[in-house]
Amino acid sequence: MKEKILDFIEQGNYVEARKEIISQNVVDIAGLFEEINQQKLLILFRILPKDLSSDVFTHMSSELQQYVIESITDEEAISILEHLFIDDVIDFLEEMPSNVVKRMLRNTNENTRRIINQILNYPEDSAGSIMTIEYADLKKEMTVKEAIQYIKKIGIDKETIDTCYVINSNRILEGVISLRKLILSDNSTLVKDIMDTGVIAINTHDDQEDVANMFKKYDYYVMPIVDKENRLVGIITVDDILDVIDQEATEDLQKMAAMQPSEKEYLKTSNWALAKHRIPWLLILMISASFTGNIITRYESALQSVIILATFIPMLMDTAGNSGSQSSTLIIRGLALGELKTSDILKVLRKELCVSGIVGIILSCANFLRIYFIGKVEILVAVTVSITMFLTVILAKIVGGSLPIIAKKLKLDPAIMAGPLITTIVDAVALIIYFTTATWLLGI
């Protein structure tokens, strides 16, 4: 199919190409447009039906959107924007350079411009910034017949009106009703008599991560957004929540790997930006790790007299870091998904103590067997390493399990308390345990 369309385009047979294209899914058409010559794309784009070209436009990459918008007339551009949902307009404008944004806003009508500016002004990652305004707002005094007429008038074939919200004369949100229920009800029934009043609303300034958790909790496809006075101002649909969930998980992952978070795709981020996101934490951790080095300096003479001790430093450090990362990862994720609360800290500590006991015993026994029987190391050295291993695992898991919760209690982001920072902390303590045990057992 795709080859056929590309062939038609190559031959300049746009009539046949158009015929084939309009039977495709919009997302796939947008994908196809990324692959063809830009001039040919422009011709095709112009001969598509208006509705379809707007839908395809929404799914194009922002590079291609910019090319198209800069190549067409103001009238054409406005006609595209008029067919888009407001949230798609916002997504588009956020990626455009300011001259394009200005040109677009200059040409839209005053009401739309006001709404766009308002949404653009909501804090990043707030519910308001991802909402859309194409919803059906019914008055509670309407009859079913009036309601259906109103819905038909505002444009019925939109998924966003499968759920209708009911407001009073001050636009205060009072209920919700499905289009299905309206259609099945008697024409003269009043909307207020059949609406569901147990409607759960989101505030414009709620964080998008909390919004995502509400969607997960209540299994809704769409939720209403209200302002501080509980007036209905927009809706959020579940397809935007899919993106939010991915974005939040990506941000957490980046923080957990000691980077400043960024929403941009890897290949689309410049080398400088990537470096800038990575350097600060590497510098901080590098300097912190030098304190770990200082511990070695303090025990320099002990180390010099039993130089074999140095051999086990990498293994002890790595195991400490890995043990701590395991615990902190589980706790950070549990906090992010709302499965753990800060009040669970004692439960977590008790659990980590038990688990680390089991893990510590098995690792230190395995380690003793390996270095004493296979490595043929002196028994006291083997005992020193194994005791350190046991204590380190316990300590690492307790630190790894508790720091994310403490961070959350202090209103810091728990994701910072992940592998890299935990490793730096427990490495230092592991070395102190190691050399203390060594000086005591080996008498150095």
Judged by beta carbon, residue 15 or residue 307, the one nearer a copy of itself is: 307
Burial class, 144, CB count within 10 angstroms (exposed 0-12 / middle 13-18 / buried 19+): buried
Quote the distance between the C-alpha of residue 209 and its chain's center. Answer: 8
Minimal distance, residue 315 CB to a copy of itself, in Å: 4
Burial class, 43, CB count within 10 angstroms (exposed 0-12 / middle 13-18 / buried 19+): middle
Q: Among 172, 216, 346, 441, which residue interacts with a copy of itself (rule: CB under 8 A)?
A: 216
Q: How does strand 163-167 pair with strand 136-139?
A: parallel
Question: 226, 203 in Cβ contact below 8 A?
Answer: yes
Rounded CA gap, 55 and 46, in Å?
Answer: 13
Residue numbers 361-400 binding a copy of itself by CB under 8 A? 362-363, 366-367, 370-371
Residue 221 interacts with a copy of itself (CB under 8 A)? Answer: yes
Which residue stretch of 9-17, 105-113, 272-280, 435-443 sits at the interface with a copy of itself (rule: CB under 8 A)? 272-280
Judged by beta carbon, residue 129 or residue 325, the one nearer a copy of itself is: 325
Angle between helices 26-33 and 38-47 (to 10 degrees): 150
Minimal distance, residue 221 CB to a copy of itself, in Å: 5
Minimal distance, residue 87 CB to a copy of itself, in Å: 11
Minimal distance, residue 405 CB to a copy of itself, in Å: 12
Judged by beta carbon, residue 61 or residue 437, the one nearer a copy of itself is: 61
DSSP label at 398?
A: H
Minimal distance, residue 243 CB to a copy of itself, in Å: 7
Rounded CA gap, 74 and 95, in Å?
Answer: 19
Which residue stretch of 2-10, 11-19, 44-52, 192-200 sits at the interface with a copy of itself (rule: CB under 8 A)? 192-200
3-state DSSP call for residue 176? strand
Question: 162, 178 in Cβ contact below 8 A?
Answer: yes
What proportions of the chain, in percent to the nearest 5, are helix, strand and coil? 70, 10, 20
Residue 406 interacts with a copy of itself (CB under 8 A)? Answer: no
Task: Give the bridge partners for 204, in sequence order.
Answer: none
Judged by beta carbon, residue 74 or residue 362, the one nearer a copy of itself is: 362
Ramachandran angles phi, psi of 69, nearest 5°: -60, -40
Q: Among 241, 381, 398, 403, which residue interacts with a copy of itself (rule: CB under 8 A)?
A: 241
How many residues bind to a copy of itself according to rule CB under 8 A?
Answer: 112
Question: 396, 426 in Cβ contact below 8 A?
Answer: yes
Judged by beta carbon, residue 74 or residue 273, the one nearer a copy of itself is: 273
Minimal distance, residue 323 CB to a copy of itself, in Å: 6
Exposure letters 304-338 (e unless 16+ CB within 10 A, then b): eebeebeebbeebbebbbbbbbbbbbbbbbbbbee
Question: 164, 137 in Cβ contact below 8 A?
Answer: yes
Minimal distance, residue 111 CB to a copy of itself, in Å: 26
Residue with tokens 């230190």: 364
Judged by beta carbon, residue 267 or residue 410, the one nearer a copy of itself is: 267
Minimal distance, residue 106 CB to a copy of itself, in Å: 30
Residue 250 interacts with a copy of itself (CB under 8 A)? Answer: yes
Residue numbers 116-135 binding a copy of itself by CB under 8 A? none
Residue numbers 345-364 binding a copy of itself by CB under 8 A? 347-348, 351, 354-355, 358-359, 362-363
Minimal distance, residue 303 CB to a copy of itself, in Å: 6
Minimal distance, residue 174 CB to a copy of itself, in Å: 13
DSSP label at 132?
A: B
Judged by beta carbon, residue 118 or residue 178, the one nearer a copy of itself is: 178
Judged by beta carbon, residue 9 or residue 212, the one nearer a copy of itself is: 212
DSSP label at 443?
A: -
